[in-house]
Structures are given as structure tokens and as C-alpha cells.
Structure 1
Amino acid sequence: MATKILLCDAPDGLAVLQYALLRSGADLEVEGAPDGFRAVELAGRLQPEVAVCEIDLEGLSGTELVRRILATSPGTKLLCWTAVASAGSAAQMLGAGATGYLLKEDGPDDVVRAVAAVARGVGVVLSPKVARLLAERFAESLRRDQELEESLAEATGRLDALQAAKAEFLANVSHELRTPVTVAKGIAYVLRNRDVPEPERGEFLQQLEASLDKLMGIVDEILTIAELDRGTLTLNVQEVDLAPLLRHLAEEAARRYPQHRIEHQVPDPLTALADPARISEVVRQLLDNACRYSPPHETVSLRARVLDEGVLVTVTDHGLGMAREVLSRAFDEPFSTGERVLRKERAGVGLGLHLARQLVVQHGGVMWADPLPSGGTRVSFCIPADRGQRVTAPPLFAPDVPAEPGTRA
């Protein structure tokens, strides 16, 4: 019994296929259709064993043509015969139900062999070139899946680390908040005794004020980080001489940490575009961090200079030092305290370096840090001196400020 074959192609393609099938000598009953709609009509009437279709015809074509023919004649094995050498197109056609995908560049004899193969019940038939393209696409898909799995694992690891850091942050906050609150409660209890001598009362009040200032500082840090994360932080940027501000901050640090030598070297004037209050927060964070890292009687230096890129400010300590990966994490993650090198009582809340860096970025500047070979850490930032400028990378020439003797605060 003759095998019924349906062909669908432009007239030239039909002629080539019909001649090749006729020349094969097989017992075939062949019908041709010059467009997709005619092919669907013939498929419903003939119920062919095999259909060979060009998928790139005008009108009904592509996956829609494949689906309609197979819907009309479910038992038909459909072979795509096309000039479209695309792994994506082949995947779409096979996904729509096609049994094979052959290229016209391979010649009509491949179609004859494929017709005989699918009529005998062979599975999917592919052009060698298409098979190679599909294999390459599959390999690429596997590679992307592997990369996605690795990225997902990395993201999961970062998320776990962040969750752990947040838990540590909450523990640190509890500790840092409890200390000034406990001190304030104790002082309040003592001051209820009216027999406390006036000089002692004054000392207690100073301690109470210091505890409340520390408490307010912690709360302000947390609120500022929240504003930065929400994108609602606004700066009062103006042209300002940073020299007196930096000297005042050095003197303030010297009073707060009398066991350290605080040196400053700041030229006059030191003009920059800055929000004085926010830049004060930055420098205060850096000085506080440097003093907490440094052993007693070590020197902490604050230096500044004017570069072509803008104003450079550097804070250097001579403490235990921090590894570059710890510094990077402290800059990038708001809950990192550098616990690898800090004792618990020195760790603080864990917002300092991250907060300082974010405020510098808001000024259009850049902050970076360098562990020193002899021990200690140098943290620097550069902000633009002129309106409309941005500093996107550390200046090419940004070593420590020249070796003139600094002023001790």
C-alpha cells in the first residue's frame, strides 16, 4: 500500500521535492500544497503518514502551521524543510510537535531518506548542522544553568552572612544602648539623694550628659543609614572652609580619647563643596574608629590637602590593622564591625565605615582604605571642590600628606 505524503512549499520547492521522491522509486502517493492553508485542508482530507513543510512561507507558517496540520491529522509525522538554520527555530518546531528539522542546503535526497525513516517509526530526524547547533545550545544552556546555580549559591551565602551580621548588629546595638541607659539610670538614682555634694553632683551630671550624647549618636547613625537606604537623605551642600571644622574635630577627639595623641595637619584655607554637618559625621566616625583601633599612647593623625580632583582628607592609626577584605566588607555592609581584629568592647555598633562611605558618595566623592605594612590603617576620602564635579576613583597621587610636623590637638 502506497505511503501518503503531503508536501507544502513554494512552487519551485514542490517541484524539487516531487522529483526527488519520484526518482527514489518508493511506493508513494504524493500531494502538494503551495501555501499553509491549502496544506491544512489537504491534511484533513488525506490523513498523510508524512508531511514535509517549508515553515517560512507567507501567510500560515511556523509553529502555527505545524500545530494546525497535526491537529487536523494527528497521526502525521511532520518534517520541516527550510532554509532557516537556527537552533531556536528548530527547538520551536520540535516543541510544536514536528518530527524532524531538515535544511534545504543539504539537498532533497536527505528529505527522501528522512521520509523513509519516519515512515518506519524512527524518532526525531535532524539535519547534521541543526543537530550541532542544538547540541551547542544545550551545552550553553547547561553552562548558564551552572552559572545561575553558582550565582544563587553565592547570593544565598551573602544573604546568610548578612542575616548573621544583622543578628550580630542587633546584639551590638543592645549592648551599646544598654550601657548609656544603665549609666543614666544609675546617675538618676544617685542624684535623687539630696545629700550628694555639689562638686560630685556636677561630675554625675557631666557623665549623664556624655551617656545621653552617646545614646543620641547611636540613634542618629541608625536613622541616617535608614534614610540612605530609602534614598531620602538630603544634603545642605555649600562652599565651606573645612580647615576650622577639621581642627575642631581633632580637638574633640583628643578630649574624648585623652590616652591617644591626636595630630592634625590642615592647610588654610581648605575650601570644598560639602554639607558641614554630614562631613563632620564622616571625619568623626573615622577618628573614633582610629582611636578605638589604636593602643593607648599611639598617635592618630588627621591630615588634609588640596588636589586637582578635590579635597583629600586622611585619618591614620597605628593599631592592629585590618585586612583588605575586612575593610571592604566594612565599607559595603552596614552591619560589619571588623570583629576579626577588634575586641568586643571596641566593636561598636558596626555602622561607622559604611555610614561614612555612603555620606562621602552622597557628596560626589570616594572613600578608600589601606592597611599599613608597619601596622595600622589609613582611611582616606576625596570630595570635589567645585560644583558639578564628581570623584569616581582614588586620585592617582594620594599618598599620605607631606611630612611636615603635624599639630597636636
Structure 2
Amino acid sequence: MSRRAPLARRIFLVTVVVAVLTAMVTAVAVLQLARAGDAEEARASLGLQAERLANARPATRAALVEGLAELAGSDARAAVVAADGSVSGTAPAPARVVAALLDGEAASTSARADGVNWIVEARPSADGGGVVLARDATSVRAVTPAIALRVLLALAIGVVVAALAALVAARTLSRPLARLAGSARRIAAGERGVAPAPSSVSEIADVEAALEALDDALTRSEGRQREFLLSISHELRTPLTAIRGYAEALRDGLVPGAAATEVGATLEAEATRLGRFTDDLLALARLEAEDFPVVLAGVELGPVLADAASAWTGRATALGVALVAEGTAATRTDAGRVRQLVDGLIENALRVSPEGSTIRMTASLVGDRAVVEVADGGPGLSADDAAHAFERGRLRERYAEVRPVGTGLGLSIAARLVERLGGAISARSGERSGAVFRIELPPA
């Protein structure tokens, strides 16, 4: 497992490394510029001296040149070029320099003589020929170490200042991030309503806002789950209470023989209701699992709707409700899962459809998608109902005291099942009355 360094340490190290590299590059550039400046300054000085010698009287010029020649080991040399091209003196005088002087032109160049690199400046004289002065290039750079020492000292001070600034910056940046990490850990531990201290750094402020939004979303989600579990617990408690009460009565012999049939029917109805709750919860849990089985094949939807209508006709007739299945469309889906969807929608529709109304199931092809619609004759849905119809227990919570409701899980199960089939489901009010649930399935 790799060890992770704290952000403050990384910022500090990166800043120091950048500062050191910058100082090294700056030192090299400054030293190169210093050397170039020294060479230019030496050439200018040497050229000025050559100019003065060239303009001096011939006797004075010869004496100075002779004096420089007598200085053994001197880093400066001189030579005189006569009008006939002859050279006297110790300074190196390349042929091109002599030619320039004879043409009355100045020369500035470098030459190597006696194993030494020389800076050469030559100036023509009025009487023909001229003067050549040379200086050891090594002596020109003799001042560079002193300059380099000062430059390196200044850069070292800069690196130290940069390190201190990096330390302050690292702590300044890492402190709010550490607070954010602490807030995230508190949220992960189950604490809600955690408000991180606001930061002046825009990017960190964005993370803080996102963390607060996550906190709010978790709070709302957990609140809905809590309310949903409470409502489910209440619904489970009701049939369990009835079953327990009748069971105790039967155990104590309080139910006469004549009432046994009625008690049995009540127990059966409550057990069926309890089983429906359990089945819905299990179905929802299975839909959340990754290995939920879906077998895709070519399917004609007309026969699927006809089979569903046939299966529910008995119950619909008992309630005085007509079931109609019409149309067909080809699609690639799981026929059993589509039947499961349609059964759930029919059960919901029968719960709210009044006597004498009709539940209409239609299959059609809209564009390249197969569409199944189940329309009932109930009270319909508002726009807000349609927008939130497939949230767990939302409609049940809203209409529990107004009209017959189910477990609150059926439409949520339908939405997850359609999603697994690669389709989409929506709800709206009918054109005249009732609600219409529309299932769109992938094309064949």
C-alpha cells in the first residue's frame, strides 16, 4: 500500500524544488550575461586605448609598445603595424587585422597565440599602418567569481524566502481542505447539518458548496426513507394485529363454529394483504440487485395484453369494470417482465376505477419505439402527481385518506423494471378522466 504525503508537504516540496530550479537557471543566465558584459567592457576599453595610441606621435607610440613588450607575463600586449605591413611587438596580429589597418579600417576580433586566447583590438594611424592591442581573455573573466558569489548569495536568499512563502501557502491551502475532510468524515459517520467554515478560495468554496448540497440531499433522502419505512411498518402492523387477534380468539375458543368461515375469510384476506406487501418489498430489492434476470427476445405485445386482460377479467367483472386490450407492436424485450408491468398497472387501475368504467390497454408503434398504455377511469392525476408518481410511497402518502391506495411500492417497482428493460415510463391525466400510464420499449 503506497504512503500518501500530506498536501501541505507536497506544496512545500514542489514550491522549493521550483524555486531551486529557477535559482539555478537564473544563476547560469546571470553569469553568462556577466561574462558577456565583461568581454564587451574589455573590448571597449582596449579599443579606446588603441585609438589613443594610434593618434599619438610615432615616438610615443613606439615607446609604449616597447614598454609593454618588456613586461614578462603581462596579460596585455601591443604591436605596431608599419605602413609597409611589417609588424613589431608582441601582440598577435593576424593577416586580416594587418590588411584592415593598411586599408585604414579598425578591427575587433579574437586570436589564439602561445596557447592563450586573446581579445584583439586594432586601430589605424594617420601615417599608415596602425596599433594592435591584445588582452588575455582569461583575465577579463577574473572578475566573474566575485560577481558569481554575490549572485549566488542573492539567489540563496530568494530560495529561503520562497521556502518560507511555500510553508505559509501550504498551511493556508491545506487548513480548509483538512476542515473539509473532517466535515466529510462527520457526514459519513451519520451526522447531518454539517456546515463547513466558508473559504475565500473559490475552488475550495465550490467543494464546500457541493459537500453542503450532498449533506442536504442525504438528509432529505434519509427523511423520505424514514417516512416510507414508518408507513410500511404501519401497514404491516394492521394485518398482523388482525391476524394475531383472531388467532388468540381461536386459541381461547371465543369464535363460535358458525363464525369460523367468516373469521377464516378475514384471516385469508389479511394474510394476502401481508403477502402483497412482502412480495412488493422483495421485488423492489431484487430490482436493485445487479444480477436481476432479463431475457430479451422478439415479442408481439398484442398477445401479452390479451393474456393479461383474460387473467384479470374475473376480478374486473366482480368490480363492474370492463377490460379492453387492443393493438399490437413488435419489440425486443422480456415478455414475462412486460406482463409483470401490465399486471401491476391493471391492479392499480382496478383499485381506483369506479363501477361501470373501462380500463383500456393499447399497444402501438410510435416512431421506432413500441408503446404500451394503460388508461383507467379513476380520479386522474394532477401535474404534480404525474411528476412524482414513481417515487416510493409518494401518491400513497398524499391520498391515503382520500381514496383506495396500495402499498406505495407498485409504481416504483414499475419504474425500476422499465429501466432494466431499457425503456421509459411516464404518467399523465386522461383526456376526459382517469390516468394514463405509458411504457416505451426499445424498437425491434
TM-score (norm 2): 0.51
Q: 1:321, CA displacement in angstroms? A: 3.8
Residue 383 of structure 1 aligns with which residue? 441
Q: 1:156, CA displacement in angstroms? A: 2.7
Q: Does 1:196 align with 2:257?
A: yes
Q: 1:352, CA displacement in angstroms? A: 1.6
Q: Specify which of 355, 362, 365 is matched with residue 420 of structure 2.
A: 362
Query: Is the Cα–Cα contact under 8 Å of residues 396 and 407 in structure 2 kept in the other structure?
Result: no
Structure 1 stretch 279-288 or stretch 371-380: which is displaced more? 371-380
Q: 1:226, CA displacement in angstroms? A: 1.6
Query: Is the Cα–Cα contact under 8 Å of residues 305 and 312 in structure 1 kept in the other structure?
Result: yes
Q: 1:373, CA displacement in angstroms? A: 6.4
Identify if the C-alpha distance between structure 1 residues 203 and 256 changes in structure 2 by more than 3 Å, giving closer, same or farther.
Answer: farther
Identify if the C-alpha distance between structure 1 residues 242 and 208 changes in structure 2 by more than 3 Å, giving closer, same or farther.
Answer: farther
Query: Is the Cα–Cα contact under 8 Å of residues 374 and 437 in structure 2 kept in the other structure?
Result: yes
Determine the C-alpha separation between the residues in 2 that align with 1:155 and 1:293. 38
Identify if the C-alpha distance between structure 1 residues 207 and 384 changes in structure 2 by more than 3 Å, giving closer, same or farther.
Answer: farther
Instruction: Point out the structure with max Rg over C-alpha.
Output: 2
Q: 1:275, CA displacement in angstroms? A: 3.8
Determine the C-alpha separation between the residues in 1 that align with 2:304 and 2:261. 29
Determine the C-alpha separation between the residues in 2 that align with 1:184 and 1:295. 29
Q: 1:162, CA displacement in angstroms? A: 1.8
SS of the equivalent of 2:407 reads coil
Alignment of 1:85-234 (within 5 A): 95=166, 142-185=201-244, 196-197=257-258, 205-234=264-293
Cα RMSD (Å) of the superposition?
A: 4.5
Residue 283 of structure 1 aligns with which residue? 342
AA aligned opposite 2:257: V
Determine the C-alpha separation between the residues in 2 that align with 1:159 and 1:225. 21
SS of the equivalent of 1:172 reads helix
Determine the C-alpha separation between the residues in 2 that align with 1:244 and 1:373. 26
SS of the equivalent of 2:397 reads coil
Question: For residues 266-323 of structure 1, what are the alpha-carbon distances to aligned partners after superposition, in whole Å with 9 as ceiling and x for unaligned?
Answer: 23x6655444443333222222333445566554332222445343211223544444
Residue 26 of structure 2 aligns with which residue? 9
Q: 1:357, CA displacement in angstroms? A: 1.3
Identify if the C-alpha distance between structure 1 residues 143 and 317 changes in structure 2 by more than 3 Å, giving closer, same or farther.
Answer: farther
Determine the C-alpha separation between the residues in 2 that align with 1:260 and 1:353. 24
Identify if the C-alpha distance between structure 1 residues 168 and 223 changes in structure 2 by more than 3 Å, giving closer, same or farther.
Answer: same
Residue 60 of structure 2 aligns with which residue? none
Determine the C-alpha separation between the residues in 2 that align with 1:383 and 1:201. 49
Query: Is the Cα–Cα contact under 8 Å of residues 18 and 30 in structure 1 kept in the other structure?
Result: no
Identify if the C-alpha distance between structure 1 residues 97 and 342 changes in structure 2 by more than 3 Å, giving closer, same or farther.
Answer: closer
Greater helix fraction, Structure 1 or Structure 2: 2
Query: Is the Cα–Cα contact under 8 Å of residues 352 and 403 in structure 2 kept in the other structure?
Result: no
Query: Is the Cα–Cα contact under 8 Å of residues 240 and 276 in structure 1 kept in the other structure?
Result: yes
Alignment of 1:44-59 (within 5 A): 48=153, 50-51=154-155
SS of the equivalent of 1:221 reads helix
Question: For residues 103-139 of structure 1, what are the alpha-carbon distances to aligned partners after superposition, in whole Å with 9 as ceiling and x for unaligned?
Answer: xxxxxxxxxxxxxxxxxxxxxxxxxxxxxxxxxxxxx
AA aligned opposite 1:95: A
Query: Is the Cα–Cα contact under 8 Å of residues 321 and 353 in structure 2 kept in the other structure?
Result: no
TM-score (norm 1): 0.54
Query: Is the Cα–Cα contact under 8 Å of residues 260 and 291 in structure 1 kept in the other structure?
Result: no
Q: Specify which of 368, 380, 384 is matched with residue 309 of structure 1.
A: 368
Question: For residues 163-216 of structure 1, what are the alpha-carbon distances to aligned partners after superposition, in whole Å with 9 as ceiling and x for unaligned?
Answer: 22212211221232233334444565677779635xx76665555444333322
Determine the C-alpha separation between the residues in 2 that align with 1:342 and 1:364. 32
Determine the C-alpha separation between the residues in 2 that align with 1:143 and 1:308. 47
Identify if the C-alpha distance between structure 1 residues 265 and 228 changes in structure 2 by more than 3 Å, giving closer, same or farther.
Answer: closer
AA aligned opposite 1:356: A
Identify if the C-alpha distance between structure 1 residues 156 and 296 changes in structure 2 by more than 3 Å, giving closer, same or farther.
Answer: farther
Identify if the C-alpha distance between structure 1 residues 47 and 384 changes in structure 2 by more than 3 Å, giving closer, same or farther.
Answer: closer
Aligned residues: 286
Q: 1:355, CA displacement in angstroms? A: 1.0
Identify if the C-alpha distance between structure 1 residues 8 and 245 changes in structure 2 by more than 3 Å, giving closer, same or farther.
Answer: closer
SS of the equivalent of 1:340 reads helix
Q: 1:381, CA displacement in angstroms? A: 0.7
Query: Is the Cα–Cα contact under 8 Å of residues 369 and 442 in structure 2 kept in the other structure?
Result: yes
Query: Is the Cα–Cα contact under 8 Å of residues 297 and 333 in structure 2 kept in the other structure?
Result: yes
Determine the C-alpha separation between the residues in 1 that align with 2:210 and 2:352. 35
AA aligned opposite 1:378: V
Q: 1:94, CA displacement in angstroms? A: 5.3
